[in-house]
Every structure is written in C-alpha cells, then in structure tokens.
Amino acid sequence: MKNANNSVFIRLLYKFSCYISGLFLFSLMLLIISAFVPRKWGNYSQDNCEMQICVSNTGIHTNIILPTKNHIFDWHKFISIGKVGIDRAQDYNYISFGWGDRDFYMLTPALSDLKFSTTFKALFLPTPSVMYVKGYLSIPNYLDVKCIQISKNDYLQLVEYIQASFQLDAKGEKVRLGNGHTINAGFYAAVGSYSILQNCNSWTASALRKADINTPLWDGFSSAIMLHLRDSCN
C-alpha cells in the first residue's frame, strides 16, 4: 500500500512539474513573440517634427539621450548638470536617463559583478528604483544609438515623464545617491518599484509612448525597444 501511494505521488509530482514547465515555456514564447509586435499599426506619421531624441542600448539597458539645452527645454533648470559626474566637466552637451533596480544598477557595474541574490530580488520582488544619469560631450559612438525626430509637444511630454521619475526630498530637491560606474555619471533616487514586469526597458518604453513613439507590445527587452524605434515624421 505504501509503495502504491508513493507511486501515485511521484506521478502527480511528474505531471505537476510538466505542467509548470509547459506554462513557463508558453509564457516565455508569448513574451518573445509580443516583443516583435508593435503597439501601433498602420500609418501614424506626424508633421512639424523638429526635435531630436536618441535611445542607447547597452545590450541589457536602454537609456534616453537628450540635449542638455535647446530652445524648448533647459535641463540645467532641473538638475545640476555639473554635479552629475565627478569628472569636473564644465558642462555636457547631452544627458542620458535610465531607470532600474537600485541594487542591481548600483552594485553591478559589469556582468562579472552579478550576484544571484541581487538578480533574484530584482526579478521576483518589488524593489526600490534608481535613476541613472550620464553626461556626454557628444552622442556616444561606442554604443548602439538610434535617433529620431519628434514634435515640440511630444518632446515636452517626454521631458515631463522623465522629471516625474525622480524622487524628491522634503525640500523638493533631487536625491543623489552616489557616483556612477563612470566619472560622467551619477545615481539618483527614483519613483516606483522595479519588478520583472516593470523593468528598465519598460520605463524607457513608457517614456517613449508619452512622446507618441511606437513601442513593442511587451517591452522588457532592450533589442525590442530599438527594433520598433522609428522616425514617424513626414
């Protein structure tokens, strides 16, 4: 009788493991397929697109690159550009913004520094987020960067979204948490919690949608963001 019960238990355990594995593979397949499906179909071209924005892809993260100053908006009025990094640069011509898990971003400068505990928390637990801000004298040519044109109104919508992603202290000031992984970068406290369903690339995609830019149905992959990033101006 005992052996029969054990046999039944093993069969049930096997069926359960097969079910879980199949569900996982099916979900993964759906995510991969949806990464290639755009949210908007057809012709959605726009006029009067005189503002340029860029998106960089590090292979894992995407970041939005904007001019520090143009005739529409001056980032100097929002953040101390000269204090973003520690390279003592008098000024930057471009500034990039990225959002992500605080521990993963700040404690993992390279894949060789990756820890299981940090990765597990980032993927399966809601964790504090951080803004990664980086200054450039010119648009970096050592990264995968794609630039497109948008309208003034869409540009301002994008700026407002980025501004709202910064966590402010009691005095209404941005909270700088530490130096970045390069001398031209810094970390700032951010709004929102990181999770597997709301990751760094999801933030980039949400920002782009604010500017009426097409994004993938599932935006968790950096490569999917870049694939759908296209100039829609006449």
- The angle formed by the CA atoms of residues 118, 203 and 198, to the nearest 5 degrees, is 50
DSSP state of 96: E
Q: What is the pLDDT of residue 49?
A: 83
Q: What is the pLDDT of residue 48?
A: 78
Q: What is the pLDDT of residue 149?
A: 94
Q: Give the DSSP per-residue string, 186-233.
A: EEEEEEEEEBTTB-HHHHHHHHHHHTT---BSS---HHHHHHH----B
In contact, 205 and 38? CB cutoff 8 Å: no
Per-residue pLDDT of the chain (234 residues; tens, 9 = 90+): 545 555 655 665 555 565 555 555 545 566 666 666 787 776 666 777 889 999 999 888 899 999 999 999 999 999 998 889 888 766 799 999 999 988 888 877 665 555 655 556 656 666 889 999 999 999 999 899 999 999 999 999 999 999 999 999 998 899 999 999 899 999 999 999 887 778 899 999 999 999 999 998 888 889 999 998 987 676
Q: What is the pLDDT of residue 34?
A: 61
Q: What is the pLDDT of residue 109?
A: 62
Q: What is the pLDDT of residue 162?
A: 98
* Residue (of 175, 176, 197) closest to 126 by Cα position: 197
- The angle formed by the CA atoms of residues 151, 214 and 31, to the nearest 5 degrees, is 160
In contact, 195 and 97? CB cutoff 8 Å: no
Q: What is the pLDDT of residue 18?
A: 58
